[in-house]
Amino acid sequence: MEGWDPQNLILPEVGKLCRSQSEYLDQHFKTQKDVSSSSISSSSCLLSEWTKRCSDYNNRLLHLRTTLMDRTLSWISSSFRAKASLSNLNLTLSASSQYGTALKRLLGEELRLLALQLHRIHFIRQYVETALRLEALVGDLEDVVFSSGNCRPGNMFAKFSTLLTSQDFGVKEERLLKAIKAMNDIEEIIVNVEKAQQWHHLLKSVDHRVDKTLAVLRPETLAEHRALLASFGWPPKLLASKVESGGLSKLLNPLLLMHGDEKKSYAQSFHVLCALQQLHSRREARKFKTLGQKECEIRLWAIDELVSPLAVRMEYHFVKWAEQPEFMCALVYRVTRDFMEGISDILQPLIDAARLRSYSANEAWVSAMVHILSGFLTKNVFPALAERYKEKDMKLEVISLWLHLVDLIVAFDKQMQSLLRYETCLLFPDAQRRGISVLIVFCDRPDWLKIWAKMELKDGWKKLKAVLKDAKAWQIDDKHRVDFDVSTICETFLLSSREAHKAPFVAESALKLAQEMIDRCQTLPVILARAKFVRSTVARFFWYFSNVLLLHCRNAELSPEEVDGSLLVRACESINAARYVESKLQEWSDDASFLEMKIAENNSNM
C-alpha cells in the first residue's frame, strides 16, 4: 500500500462508467465518509479481493495455454501419422501394380465407372418408381371409367332420366371429377419427366391408354350434357311468331328460364365439361411442344354443345335459301343477338368459376355461330360456284353471284363483330378474330381466294373502263385556284387533294375503286391472305391504270418543233394523275394495316 495516494489517482468521469461499474461503486462507497482516509481499511479489503481475483484469472489463463499446446501437439502427431499412412498406401499400390499406376487407374477409371453405375442404378430406380406410380394412376382411372357398377358396360352413366335431380348429377359429377383428377395427376408426372429421351416409350404407352380412356369419357360426357340441354327445351324455335305491332317478338332463351334444380344441374354439368376441356387443352399443348404434333384451335365445348343443335335446325332453312344468302345471314345474326344476354349472364360466371383463363362466353358464342354459316357456305355454296366458274358460259353469272355473296359476308362480319365491340379480344385481331369472320373460308382455300381476286380485279377494271368512256373523265376542276397572296397560310400549298395536283377525275375514280377492293378484304382474319389478295387485285389494278396513263400521254404526240397547247395539257393530265395516285399510295403505305401486311410478308419470306 506504499505510495498509494488517493489525490494522485486519475479516475474516469462518472458518465463514462458502465452500469455494472456504477452499481458496484454505489454498493461499497455509499457516503462521502466511505472514500475518506478513515476508511482505508475497507479499501484495503477491496484491493485484496481484486488482487486475488486477478491471480485466479492468471492461473486459469496459464492452464488454458497448457491445454491448447498439448492438443496442438497431439493433432500434429496425428497429422504426421496420417501422412505416413497415405505415403505407405501409395507405395503399396504402386508396388502391387505391374506398371505402378494402380492409383491412377483407381481414380481415373474405376471411380468413374462406379459413378456411372450408381447413376444408372438411380435412374432405374427412378424409372421403376415413376412407372409404378403411373401404372397405379392409370389403373385407377380405368377403374373409374370402365367400371360396371350401377352403369351399363362401356358406359359410365346410367340411363338418362327425364326426372333430373341435383343428387343424380352430384354423383355423376363426383365420378367424373375423380377421373379428371387422376388424368391431371398423370399429366403432372409426365410433364416432369418428358424431357428425358429414355422415357419416350413409357410416355407413349401412358398417352395411348389415357387417350383411349378419353375417347370413352368425352363422348359420354358430351352426350350427358346434350341430354340435359334437351330436358329444358334446347334448342329453341328459331322463327318467332308475329306480335300485334307487326314486328317479330324476341326469341325465347331457355337458358334464362332455368330455375332451381335445372340451373344447379346445368352448372354441375358445365363445370365437369370445362374441367375436361381444360385437361384436354393441357395435354394438347404438351403434345404440340414435345411431340411436334399440330396445334389445333380449341373452342369452348359447352358453347359448341349449345350451337350444335341450332346448326341442325338452321341448315334446314339454309337449304331452302340456297339462292337467297341474305336470309341466311339475317337468321344467324338474329339468333346470335337475341341469345347473347343469356350467354353473358348465365355462362360467363360459370366460365369464371371453372377458372378457364382467356375465355369469353360472348366471343365463343359469336365465333361458333359464325362457324355455322361459314361451314355451310364451305360445303354447299362455294364449291358449286367454283365449279360453275370453270364454264365459260356461266362466268358472268357466277361473278355476279360470287361478288354479291362477298358483299353480304363483309356486311355480316361487321355486324357480328359489332356485337363484341366491348370485348378485349378484338385487340388481338389475327389470333382471336380468326373464328369471327366468314371470310375464313378463303384463308383455308387459297384456290377460292385466287378466284375471288380475279373477280374483284375484273369487276374493278370493268368499272374503270366505264369511267374512261365518259367525256369528263380527263377533265380538271378549275374552280380550285391557288392564291399566291403572301398572307395565305402555308397549308394552302400542300398538294393533298386532287384539285391541288390538277389531276383529272379519272384518277379519283381509280383510287376509289382500289379503296373498295381493300375495304372488302379487311375482315380477312389472316394477314398473309389479306396481303396476297391486295397484291393480286389492287397492285395489278394500278399497274393497268399506269398503262392507261402512259397510253394517254403518248397519244398527245408532243414534238419539240411544234408545241400545241391542247397536246401539252393532255400530257399534263397523265403526269398529274400519276403524281396524285403516287401521293395517295404513299399515304396508304403508312397505314397500320399495310404495315402489318408488310411485316407478315417479310416474316414469311413471301
DSSP assignment of 384-436: HHHHHHTSGGGHHHHHHHHHHHHHHHHHHHHHHHHTTTT-GGGGSHHHHGGGS
Cell of 245: 305491332
Arithmetic mean of pLDDT, 12-39 = 70
The DSSP result for 118-175, as a single string, is HHHHHHHHHHHHHHHHHHHHHHHHHHHHH--TTS-TT-SSPPP-SS--HHHHHHHHHH
Q: How confident is the model at residue 429 (pLDDT cuts 50, 70, 90)?
A: very low
Q: Is pLDDT above 60 for 100? A: no
Q: Rounded to the nearest 5°, which phi and psi values hold at 61?
A: -65, -40
Q: How confident is the model at residue 154 (pLDDT cuts 50, 70, 90)?
A: very low
Start-to-end CA span in the chain (Å)? 109
- Which spans in 437-526 are helix H? 440-444, 446-468, 498-501, 505-520
CB atoms within 10 A of CB 460: 22
Q: How confident is the model at residue 316 (pLDDT cuts 50, 70, 90)?
A: very high
Q: What is the pLDDT of residues 324-333, one digit of tens each?
A: 999 999 999 9
Name the one residue in this structure whose C-alpha cell is 488517493. Answer: 6
Instruction: Classify 475 in phi/psi space as left (phi over 0), alpha (psi -120 to 50) or beta.
Output: beta
- Which spans in 293-360 are helix H? 301-320, 325-342, 348-353
pLDDT of residue 48: 84
The 8-class DSSP code of residue 293 comes to P
Arithmetic mean of pLDDT, 121-132 = 85
189-209: b (≥16 Cβ within 10 Å) or e: ebeeebeeeebeebbeebbeb
pLDDT of residue 413: 93
> The dihedral of CA 143, 148, 154, 156: what is its sign?
negative
Arithmetic mean of pLDDT, 487-507 = 61
Q: Is pLDDT above 60 for 485? A: no
Question: Is the peptide bond preceding residue 235 cis, with omega within 30 degrees of 0?
Answer: yes
Query: 509 with 461: CB under 8 angstroms?
Result: no
Query: 362 with 344: CB under 8 angstroms?
Result: yes
Name the one residue in this structure whose C-alpha cell is 369419357. Answer: 217
Q: What is the pLDDT of residues 506-546, one digit of tens each?
A: 999 999 999 999 999 988 989 999 999 999 999 999 999 99
Query: 442 with 474: CB under 8 angstroms?
Result: no
Arithmetic mean of pLDDT, 298-307 = 87
Q: What is the pLDDT of residues 280-296, one digit of tens each?
A: 888 888 887 765 544 44
Looking at per-residue confidence, does 579 or 604 come out higher? 579
Q: What is the pLDDT of residues 209-265, one digit of tens each?
A: 999 999 888 898 899 899 999 988 888 887 655 444 444 566 788 888 888 888 888
SS3 content of the chain, % helix, strand, coil (to 5): 75, 0, 25
Q: Is pLDDT above 60 for 97? A: no
Looking at per-residue confidence, does 444 or 429 come out higher? 444
pTM: 0.71
Q: What is the pLDDT of residues 350-370, one digit of tens each?
A: 988 888 777 888 999 999 999
Q: Is pLDDT above 60 for 432? A: no
Those residues with Cβ within 8 angstroms of residue 2's Cβ, 6 or more apart along the chain or in another chain: none
Looking at per-residue confidence, does 178 or 402 come out higher? 402
From residue 263, give the alpha-carbon distance in Å to each of 4, 166, 257, 258, 267. Answer: 104, 9, 9, 5, 6
Q: How confident is the model at residue 487 (pLDDT cuts 50, 70, 90)?
A: very low
CA dist 254 and 279 (Å) reads 29
Q: Is pLDDT above 50 for 147? A: yes
Q: Average the pLDDT over each of 82-96, 213-227, 374-388 and give the range with the smallest value.
A: 82-96
Arithmetic mean of pLDDT, 127-142 = 88
CA dist 409 and 400 (Å) reads 14
Those residues with Cβ within 8 angstroms of residue 100's Cβ, 6 or more apart along the chain or in another chain: 94
Gyration radius (Cα) of the chain, Å: 45
Q: Is pLDDT above 60 for 428? A: no
Rounded to 10 degrees, the C-alpha dihedral 24/26/30/31 comes to 120
